[in-house]
Structure 1
């Protein structure tokens, strides 16, 4: 696979001047004020495992709409535990109760949010998107409600994620001061958004993050999901400025500039889905302590299992 974007030296020097909307902070304050917060509701489920306990969890998300997910903890744990809050990649849902055992096997709580309207959400027990807003004219989520930031799909999803992370602090077996957020691709973009919206996190691990420097992604990425934006604008030639104005409210660069938790990024130089310059644009803007692991000959899979070892060490260092 060839390089899909800039060389590493060029990426390290790439610092685009892309201003945030003037009302960015006010927009997100108003968004997160919608709907009253409430404690998470936990229901134990039989996962067939002896060493890990799983709970089906419901949390009020955007506008109070229910968001589902899993809590996994070492069997019999009473806490307080450090907690890894995880967000999922594009099109994925929360899966089955016995999946994703890495963090509970390491002794941490694992709080996995289902993504509204995606993946497993199509099955019973998933998170629906009951207020989808105006839909785009191409398949996918990037152009849903793209005419106005108030209607956009990712407004609802990022608000869900902020509420989900705050709910982790209310879990009886979790230490509220020892929470790390993470995610791969779309999940990495969501983790960056949460890092900019929720103070007091112990760490952030954006893994080949999506939704960073969105306009450049739409201009150069050869594979979806950024291609959804290009397809939409190929049909609606007069809406370019309006679309990118909306998407600027959801760009990881602007959340990164507001984040202060220690961060471990991963970026792959042959990534055709999240071109490395887009990820580096967010990395360079990140305001907190930060480190990046670069995978020169990998595509969107990034560091895979090898990177998980670094993430485990990062979590251990920050939550014990």
Structure 2
């Protein structure tokens, strides 16, 4: 088959290249303590969009560092008994999208929570407060301030806060929660399942934010990863701090959080993906210790994967 990465049999054994910080577990334990101390203060208000089969709300809650985070919240109309829910996460720079594309799950009896990431294309706040470059690029945001100020640390914690808010809703069954997303959303689905162990099912498609050093060595620091090349060119042109930079990015490398997942995972993997290369997808998949399965698309890149949405729908329906 055509290939832009290592052979499939090697991919199935690959465990990543980027360094894992020695204090990774302590770092995330402290981060979760900060989340525990952050009162979510959720507010909901009826949205302008009100279809005949669902009740739709604008939901806001407080994330770490005081940012107000926005999510669309949809629930089946007239249903008050506890029922399952799915949390959805969008691609890099995007937003939670249209209300109507979430109604198939509502029709199945699910509530749906779709979060806007801080400072991207939706309504959530990026409260800032870091040193260094803020012109563009979120996964390098905070590199010059230190690991605790990485913006994606906060976004990762936002996913767990959303899960906690959803689970606190009286109409939601906290034991039947799934997460779903592609690209950045695929990474955030894995992260949410890692940071909130009560998540039961996770759908992740070609996850972003995995194995940064492998992306660099494949000369694919472009498109979604372009800011890494930009950072080196502007702030470390001789790569004198390269080891330290990749170590710091290790705190927000989803392959290492994936080891914590207890949910059952379904992953879509595309072998011709030159945005989030296959080895970085497998780096995350191979570290998942819970029940897992993948569907491989040999000829597809970072694009729609035919039939996968149907498989994901059936996978989540088992909640």
TM-score by length of 1: 0.91
Kept in 2, the 8 Å contact 1:208–1:302? The answer is no
Provide the C-alpha distance between the structure 2 equivalents of 1:50 and 1:178, rounded to a whole number of angstroms. 25
Secondary structure in structure 1 of the residue aligned to 2:224: coil
2:58 is matched with: 56
Provide the C-alpha distance between the structure 2 equivalents of 1:150 and 1:14, rounded to a whole number of angstroms. 29
Size of the aligned set, in residue pairs, is 312
Pick from 106, 109, 131: which aligns with 2:108? 106
Pair 1:264-2:266 in alignment = yes
Secondary structure in structure 1 of the residue aligned to 2:203: strand
Offset of residue 102 of structure 1: 3.0
Provide the C-alpha distance between the structure 1 equivalents of 2:250 and 2:270, rounded to a whole number of angstroms. 24
Kept in 1, the 8 Å contact 2:143–2:150? The answer is yes
Pick from 181, 201, 204: which aligns with 1:203? 201
1:31 is matched with: 31
Provide the C-alpha distance between the structure 1 equivalents of 2:65 and 2:22, rounded to a whole number of angstroms. 24
The 5 A counterparts of 1:243-282 are 243-282=245-284
Kept in 1, the 8 Å contact 2:90–2:181? The answer is yes
Kept in 2, the 8 Å contact 1:61–1:161? The answer is no
1:172 is matched with: 170
Kept in 2, the 8 Å contact 1:138–1:231? The answer is no
Offset of residue 138 of structure 1: 6.2
Structure 1 residues 37 and 137, CA gap change in structure 2 (3 angstroms): closer
Kept in 1, the 8 Å contact 2:32–2:157? The answer is yes
The 5 A counterparts of 1:1-320 are 3-16=3-16, 20-34=20-34, 35-120=37-122, 126-136=123-133, 139-147=136-144, 148-220=146-218, 221=220, 223-235=222-234, 236=236, 237-304=239-306, 306-317=307-318, 319=319
Kept in 2, the 8 Å contact 1:135–1:143? The answer is no
Kept in 2, the 8 Å contact 1:132–1:144? The answer is no
Farther-moved stretch of structure 1 (244-253 vs 40-49): 40-49
Kept in 1, the 8 Å contact 2:38–2:64? The answer is no
Offset of residue 9 of structure 1: 2.4
Kept in 1, the 8 Å contact 2:181–2:187? The answer is yes
Provide the C-alpha distance between the structure 1 equivalents of 2:229 and 2:17, rounded to a whole number of angstroms. 22
Kept in 1, the 8 Å contact 2:83–2:110? The answer is yes
Offset of residue 228 of structure 1: 1.5
Secondary structure in structure 2 of the residue aligned to 1:263: strand
Offset of residue 197 of structure 1: 1.3
TM-score by length of 2: 0.91
Gap regions ≥5 residues in structure 2: none
Provide the C-alpha distance between the structure 2 equivalents of 1:218 and 1:162, rounded to a whole number of angstroms. 29
String of CA shifts for 1:178-220, please: whole Å, max 9, x gaps. Answer: 0011211011111211222111211111111011112112332
